[in-house]
Amino acid sequence: MSRQRATAGLGLIVLAAVAVAFPLVFSSPVITNYAVYALIFVAVVSAWNVFSGFSGYISLGHAVFFGSGAYTVGIAARDWHVNGVSVFALLPLAAVVGAVIAVPFGLVALRVRRHTFIVITIAVFFIFQLMAANFSFTGGSVGVAAPFLPWNPTSFNDHFYYITLGCAVAAIVIAVLVRRSRFGLQLRAIRDDEDRARGLGVRTMKVKLTAFVLSATVAGLVGGVWFLYLTQVQPPSGYDPLFDLSLVLMAFLGGLGTISGPVLGALVIEPGQLYLTIRYTNGYLSEILLGALFLLIALFVPRGIVPTAGEWVGRLRTRGRPAVAPVPAQASAPAPSEASEAPAKEARR
Amino acid sequence: MARQIYQAIADGILVGGVYALMAVGLTLIFGVLDIINIAQGVLVILGAYLSYELSVRVHLDLFLGLLITVPAMFVIGVVIQWAFIRRLRGRERTSMTLLVTYAVALIVEGILYEIYGANPKQLNASYVQSSVHLLGFYLSDIYLYGFVLAVAIVVALYAVLYRSTFGRSVRATMQDETAARLIGIDVNRVAAITFGLGIAVTAAGGMVFGATNTFNPNSGYDLISRLLAIIILGGLGSIGGALAASVFMLTVESLVDIWSPEWAIVVFYAALVVVLVVRPTGFFGRPPVRAQ
């Protein structure tokens, strides 16, 4: 056990060193641009996972928080005449706006489950997109532009690389803390059987809403950062339906409800998607390829890379016998890692 | 003003009929297969393009063309179900089907873009531009025909579901899949045919939609979000509910449209949220059965 811990610790240190050194080695703005987008999505998908992955309520409305965070920073900077680097002081406001929107949104949407929940999140998403296009203080279809950042163009991406890296690490740490806490356990109990969880004394609405608001807070903040990086936001880019579906795809590719899965998914999919859109500028072929990728994932690794790979490793170790003896879950010891937890769940089903 | 309101209500009911045509398929698929078919919107557009091909290349009348496009879409639906949806099982099925049908939507949309490009198209026929003066209202011919077609198809679906053996097995599968399997119903066959039927209906919906709106491959997204709102409002799996909700939503939108076209669509989604706060299962929805 301790050897495993030491290996994991060493792995984390190496990973951190690689992450910090990345822009020093690859200094080309073209490459750091990919990295910044990937990290933005690592942060958002980790936040999304804290709610949707752990609770099983698939939200297709996180673009509401992301876009509102972006608009908050833009509108506040414009109306209060905030210039230069001090715009970063507006980021907490973006997080607060994300949280404030999430409370009524969650109170309405979390009353229903499964498909109906998904569709309500879509409906709220469209309401926000249309409001952004119709109100005058959001700049209508023109949108809002960010104030000029007095940074050297060659190091512009590097600054944002470290900012988004910070966001991504913070989001992952939040996800780890939630997963290990009693709160995280309650969320996963809701995912497995909400009625039974309620019967056992979990205050389901409170738990779900807390996770929703927490998730929205991070998404709002990262939306603000994204806006400052892109320097502009319009209704269709801030409230982008593809954004939500990308989150779902990333989480599913990696493994829904695990910590490392969505991160891995974001690191694979976002640069890939970006590359395809840049490579095939008409966008049609990239759509077909993306759709084909979706299908391959859904049909061949339906539970995601991380759980599936964990199973393979487990099978190798035990030479073909099941990794976990099929005993009732209550009797089995707490799973030491995410990887060996998946088969245990399967056995119980 | 009163005239405008009556006209708006008449328009809303007629347009609602067209949306019902598209929503009925979606809610039927949900009821039997327990999935939300995100691709429905794009498949409606595919149906519109098929009608477009027939009317431009072969000069076939739009309504006669349905005799070809409806079976074609049925086959496409069965193939999609057989190839992708049949394989999905297990706990994450709800979200996986979302991904799979979205993937199908992306692929179909991409192919349509490759063939037709992004320029908007519209179906044309002698009755598309004309209108009749009826009881003091100006009613567009195509909407009238479309409405009649919608009513005919919904009645036909009702007849199939409530007056035939196949319909009985569909309803049994809707109520309890395991029990249906136990009494000897071939659930896989029912699922494939239902999915095909749900898609086939969109061919008719797509034709009327294409004749009353301009469309390009991207139009499917706006459509699917409206259709989802409609079937949730009507109560998932309820065909009559889909019909009522289409007419209700489109009438509301049409009424708000008099006052402000920009906010009409916002009201459309807001109406859904408000109704669900009061009644989480929609107009005619059954209370959710506890899944085990």
Residue A295, pLDDT > 50, answer yes
Instruction: Summarize the confidence of residues B13-32 as an average pLDDT.
Output: 85
Count of beta carbons in the 10 Å neighbourhood of residue A196? 12
Instruction: Summarize the confidence of residues A3-28 as an average pLDDT.
Output: 81
Q: Cβ contact (<8 Å) for A298 and B110?
A: no
Q: Cβ contact (<8 Å) for B107 and A245?
A: no
Strand locations in B42-197 (E)? 131-134, 137-140
d(CA B207, CA B55): 11
3-state secondary structure of A43: helix
Residue A331, pLDDT > 50, answer no
Q: Cβ contact (<8 Å) for A298 and B277?
A: no
What is the pLDDT, as a whole number, of residue A45? 93
Please check whether residue B88 touches A, CB under 8 A. yes
> Which residues does chain A have within 8 Å of residue B84's beta carbon, measured at their own beta carbons?
295, 298-299
Model confidence at B243, pLDDT cuts 50, 70, 90, reads confident
Residue B101's closest chain A neighbor by CA?
Answer: A295
Residue A338, pLDDT > 50, answer no
> Which residues does chain A have within 8 Å of residue B105's beta carbon, measured at their own beta carbons?
291
Model confidence at B74, pLDDT cuts 50, 70, 90, reads very high
Model confidence at A330, pLDDT cuts 50, 70, 90, reads very low
3-state secondary structure of B183: coil
Mutate to test the interface with A, among B101, B102, B256 (most CBs of A within 10 A): B102
> Which residues does chain B have within 8 Å of residue A297's beta carbon, measured at their own beta carbons?
99
CA distance, residue A23 to nearest chain B CA (Å)? 34
CA distance, residue A265 to nearest chain B CA (Å)? 15
**DSSP designation for B216:** -
Percent of chain B residues past pLDDT 70, beyond the cut: 95
Residue A285's closest chain B neighbor by CA?
Answer: B110
**Which residue(s) pair with A232 in the sheet?**
A145
Q: Higher model confidence: residue B118 or residue B159? A: B159
d(CA B22, CA B47): 11
Which stretch of DSSP H or E encloses residue A145?
A: strand A144-145
Model confidence at A343, pLDDT cuts 50, 70, 90, reads very low
Q: Are A298 and A287 in contact (CB under 8 A)?
A: no
What is the pLDDT, as a whole number, of residue A4? 77
Q: Are A102 and A69 in contact (CB under 8 A)?
A: no
Residues 6+ apart with CB under 8 A from B288: A113, A114, B281
Question: What is the residue-averaged pLDDT of chain A?
Answer: 81
Q: Cβ contact (<8 Å) for B272 and A123?
A: yes
If we measure between CA atoms, which residue out of A84, A97, A98, A48 comes closest to residue A159? Answer: A84
Q: Higher model confidence: residue B41 or residue A282? A: B41
To the nearest 10°, report the CA torsion of A244, A250, A256, A257.
-80
Query: What would the two tokens of residue A3 be?
Result: 């050897």
Q: HSE, CB side, 13 Å, CA atoms: give it for residue B168.
A: 6
Question: What is the residue-averaged pLDDT of chain B?
Answer: 82
What is the pLDDT, as a whole number, of residue B230? 87
What is the pLDDT, as a whole number, of residue B267? 80
Please check whether residue A290 touches B, CB under 8 A. yes
Percent helix, strand and coil across chain A, each to the nearest 5? 75, 0, 25
CA distance, residue A322 to nearest chain B CA (Å)? 19
Rounded to the nearest 10 degrees, the angle between the axes of helix A284-300 and helix B93-116 is: 150
What is the pLDDT, as a whole number, of residue A348? 39
What is the pLDDT, as a whole number, of residue A151? 79
Residue A58's closest chain B neighbor by CA?
Answer: B95
Strand locations in chain A (E)? 144-145, 232-233
- Which range has the top average pLDDT, A10-24, B40-54, B108-122, B143-157? B40-54
Please check whether residue B278 touches A, CB under 8 A. no
What is the pLDDT, as a whole number, of residue B91? 66
What is the pLDDT, as a whole number, of residue A66? 93
d(CA A168, CA A165): 5
B251-274 pLDDT, tens digit each:
888 888 888 777 777 787 888 778
Can you give the pTM of this predicted structure? 0.79
- How would you classify the pairing of strands B137-140 and B131-134? antiparallel
Residue B24, pLDDT > 60, answer yes
Instruction: Summarize the confidence of residues A286-311 as an average pLDDT.
Output: 78
Model confidence at A319, pLDDT cuts 50, 70, 90, reads low
3-state secondary structure of A82: coil
d(CA B273, CA B270): 5
Model confidence at A46, pLDDT cuts 50, 70, 90, reads very high
Length of chain B: 292
Q: HSE, CB side, 13 Å, CA atoms: give it for residue B127.
A: 13
Residue B93, pLDDT > 90, answer no
What is the pLDDT, as a whole number, of residue A326? 54
Q: Are B33 and B188 in contact (CB under 8 A)?
A: no
Length of chain A: 349
Residues 6+ apart with CB under 8 A from B229: A119, A123, B249, B268, B269, B272
Nearest CB to B110: which of A122, A291, A349?
Answer: A291
Residue B216, pLDDT > 70, answer yes
Query: What would the two tokens of residue B86 be?
Result: 């049949």
What is the pLDDT, as a whole number, of residue B274? 81
Mutate to test the interface with A, among B30, B92, B262, B290 (most CBs of A within 10 A): B92
d(CA A246, CA A265): 10
**DSSP designation for B133:** E
Residue A335, pLDDT > 50, answer no
Model confidence at A185, pLDDT cuts 50, 70, 90, reads confident
A80-131 pLDDT, tens digit each:
888 877 888 888 999 999 999 999 888 888 888 777 788 888 888 888 888 8
Cβ-count burial of A120 within 10 angstroms (0-12 exposed, 13-18 middle, 19+ buried)?
buried
**DSSP designation for B130:** -
Phi, psi of B132 (to 5 degrees): -115, 155
> Which residues does chain B have within 8 Å of residue A262's beta carbon, measured at their own beta carbons?
none
Q: How far is CA B216 from the centre of its chain?
A: 17
Q: Are A238 and A222 in contact (CB under 8 A)?
A: no
Instruction: Summarize the confidence of residues A235-257 as an average pLDDT.
Output: 83
Query: What would the two tokens of residue A314 be?
Result: 């487990």
Instruction: Summarize the confidence of residues B168-178 as an average pLDDT.
Output: 81
What is the pLDDT, as a whole number, of residue B290? 43
If we measure between CA atoms, which residue out of A143, A125, A134 comes closest to residue A231? Answer: A143
Instruction: Summarize the confidence of residues A246-274 as an average pLDDT.
Output: 84
Residue B276's closest chain A neighbor by CA?
Answer: A108
Mutate to test the interface with A, among B97, B266, B281, B283 (most CBs of A within 10 A): B266
Instruction: Summarize the confidence of residues A224-241 as an average pLDDT.
Output: 85
Model confidence at B76, pLDDT cuts 50, 70, 90, reads very high
3-state secondary structure of B137: strand
